[in-house]
């Protein structure tokens, strides 16, 4: 629907997804401070907890937010995909660019939403599955070719997740900003893509202190290029390329952590740079500014052609229900609220 309304303009849709309470949160006697009503409204409640008397836990104040849609913890992966991203996939098939971001604190459900599991694949896999289905339905009117790249921005360094090696250098050429030497895989089937992405995710930078655990400072970007080639009635070649970027952002809780003088604080400062740059770009787009500060970080440079202009942007803010992470949830909801169009 929204392609018709605004063919040339950028459109930002903002969604919230609440994840279920985890076992360890239940065991820590945490209670839910988030309520989702009518699939749109989010109520956040702060409790004052007196450490000496759990029975006197009392409600302090509440706040109410409204988004394009909000998903309760019972929402399925398919539900989230269909509501947030299906229209954008259709637009990309028409030759537009678009991007989908998951934003939120570490543990809030970003990777589950984007990548998911083999049993419950997330937005990345469902988008590609949908793309293949739509292409098959149209296979008579031309040739579609799908290529994938999967990369990471960590500590302002860009790496290829499908072909790990040296950091990649960003260059500006006729097509825009590209990561020189980034591998592109031709994709044929969804199963193969899931395997590729799971493998790529294993290549994400891990915490130095906790092997096997993806760093909360790592941004993962899946780029899907759809090329469409056909001939018109007078046999002229028509070539159309749409690009879809799906981004599992670094944990937002570190965006403001700048008070340490260790290596970690350097990494924190750089995350700060990419997430802050993304926030500035989105705010500038939402406010309709002419100048969008893409140049401020690797992440925003890479996404320059998929954020502004004739692009559609989807933001999914992931939150946890537990009052133990009230502050992070509040920050995420405020951030998402600011990303909405005025
Ligand atoms: P993040 O990537 O934001 O750090 P994860 O996606 O890794 O967070 O989620 C943290 C944990 O919660 C994981 O064990 C994940 O499987 C689980 N989880 C997150 N969202 C959901 C959900 N909607 N349904 C079920 N489990 C979820
Ligand atoms: Mg994650």
For residue 262, what pLDDT band results from cuts at 50, 70 and 90? very low
pLDDT at residue 216, as a whole number = 86
User: What is the 3-class SS of the chain, one letter each residue?
Assistant: CHHHHCCCCCEEEEEEEECCCCHHHHHCCCCECEEEECCCEEEEEEEECCCCCHHHCEEEEEEEEECCEEECCCCCHHHHHHHHCHHHHHHHHCCCEEEEEEECCCCCCHHHHHCECCCCECHHHHHHHHHHHHHHHCHHHCEEEEEEEEEEEECCEEEECCCCCCCECEEEECCEEEECCCCCEECCCHHHHHHHHHHHHHCCCECCCCCCCECCCCEEEEEEEEEEEEECCCCCEEEEEEEEEEEECCCHHHCCCCCCCCHHHHHHHHHHHHHHHHHHHHHHHHCCCCCCCHHHCHHHHHCHHHHCCCEEEEEEEEECCEHHHHHHHHHHHHHHHHHCCC
For residue 8, what pLDDT band results from cuts at 50, 70 and 90? low
pLDDT at residue 217, as a whole number = 87
Would the pLDDT of 13 be above 60? yes
Q: Which residues surround ligand 2, an ion (CB under 5 A)?
A: 111
pLDDT at residue 211, as a whole number = 67
* Distance (Å) from CA 10 to ligand 2 centroid: 27
Q: Which residue did the predictor score with more confidence, 115 or 341?
A: 115
Give the closest ligand to the alpha carbon of residue 112: 1
Give the closest ligand to the alpha carbon of residue 114: 1
20 lines ligand 1 (CB under 6 A): yes
Would the pLDDT of 341 be above 50? yes
Would the pLDDT of 150 be above 90? yes
Ligand 1 atom nearest 106 alpha carbon: 4
For residue 60, what pLDDT band results from cuts at 50, 70 and 90? low
For residue 297, what pLDDT band results from cuts at 50, 70 and 90? very high
| pTM, entire model | 0.91
ipTM exceeding 0.95, yes/no: yes
| Distance of alpha carbon 320 from alpha carbon 312, whole angstroms | 26
> CA 11, 96, 308: angle at the middle one, nearest 5?
45
Give the closest ligand to the alpha carbon of residue 215: 2
pLDDT at residue 137, as a whole number = 87
Q: What is the pLDDT of residues 170-191, one digit of tens each?
A: 999 887 889 999 999 998 888 8
Q: What is the pLDDT of residues 183-225, one digit of tens each?
A: 999 988 888 898 899 999 999 998 777 667 788 889 999 999 9
pLDDT at residue 1, as a whole number = 39
Whose tokens are 């040739």? That residue is 143
Instruction: Write down the mean pLDDT value for the chain.
Output: 87
Whose tokens are 């029975």? That residue is 55
Q: Which residue did the predictor score with more confidence, 53 or 92?
A: 92
Mean pLDDT of 14-28: 96
- What percentage of the chain carries pLDDT values higher than 70? 86
- Residue whose Cα lies nearest atom 19 of ligand 1: it is 109
Q: What is the pLDDT of residues 226-235, one digit of tens each?
A: 998 888 889 8
Would the pLDDT of 323 be above 70? yes
* Distance (Å) from CA 69 to ligand 2 centroid: 22
For residue 293, what pLDDT band results from cuts at 50, 70 and 90? very high
| Distance of alpha carbon 146 from alpha carbon 228, whole angstroms | 9
For residue 38, what pLDDT band results from cuts at 50, 70 and 90? very high
pLDDT at residue 258, as a whole number = 42
Q: What is the pLDDT of residues 89-145, one digit of tens each?
A: 999 998 899 999 999 999 999 999 999 999 999 999 999 999 999 998 887 667 889
């Amino acid at each position: 629907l929204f392609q018709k309304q605004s063919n040339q303009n950028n459109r930002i849709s903002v969604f919230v997804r609440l994840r279920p309470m985890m076992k360890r949160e239940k065991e820590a006697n945490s209670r839910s401070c988030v309520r989702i009503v009518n699939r749109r409204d989010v109520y956040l409640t702060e409790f004052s907890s007196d450490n000496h008397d759990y029975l006197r836990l009392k409600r302090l104040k509440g706040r109410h937010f409204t988004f394009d849609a909000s998903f309760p913890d019972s929402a399925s992966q398919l539900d989230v995909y269909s509501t947030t991203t299906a229209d954008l996939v259709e637009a990309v098939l028409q030759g537009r660019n678009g991007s989908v971001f998951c934003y939120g604190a570490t543990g809030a459900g970003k990777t589950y939403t984007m990548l998911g599991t083999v049993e419950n694949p997330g937005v990345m896999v469902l988008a590609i599955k949908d793309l293949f289905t739509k292409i098959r339905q149209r296979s008579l009117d031309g040739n579609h070719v799908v290529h994938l790249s999967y990369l990471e921005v960590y500590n302002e360094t860009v790496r290829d997740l499908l072909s790990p090696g040296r950091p990649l250098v960003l260059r500006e050429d006729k097509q825009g900003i590209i990561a020189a030497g980034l591998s592109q895989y031709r994709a044929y089937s969804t199963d193969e893509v899931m395997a590729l992405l799971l493998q790529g995710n294993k290549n994400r930078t891990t915490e130095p202190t906790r092997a096997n655990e993806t760093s909360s400072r790592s941004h993962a970007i899946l780029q899907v290029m759809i090329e469409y080639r056909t001939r018109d009635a007078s046999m002229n070649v028509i070539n159309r390329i749409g690009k879809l970027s799906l981004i599992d952002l670094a944990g937002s809780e570190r965006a403001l952590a700048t008070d340490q003088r260790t290596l970690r604080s350097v990494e924190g400062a750089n995350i700060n740079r990419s997430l802050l740059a993304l926030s500035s770009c989105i705010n500038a787009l939402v406010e309709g500014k002419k100048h969008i500060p893409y140049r401020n970080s690797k992440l925003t440079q890479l996404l320059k052609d998929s954020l502004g202009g004739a692009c559609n942007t989807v933001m999914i803010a992931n939150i946890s229900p537990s009052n133990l992470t009230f502050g992070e949830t509040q920050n995420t909801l405020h951030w998402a609220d600011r990303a909405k169009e005025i």
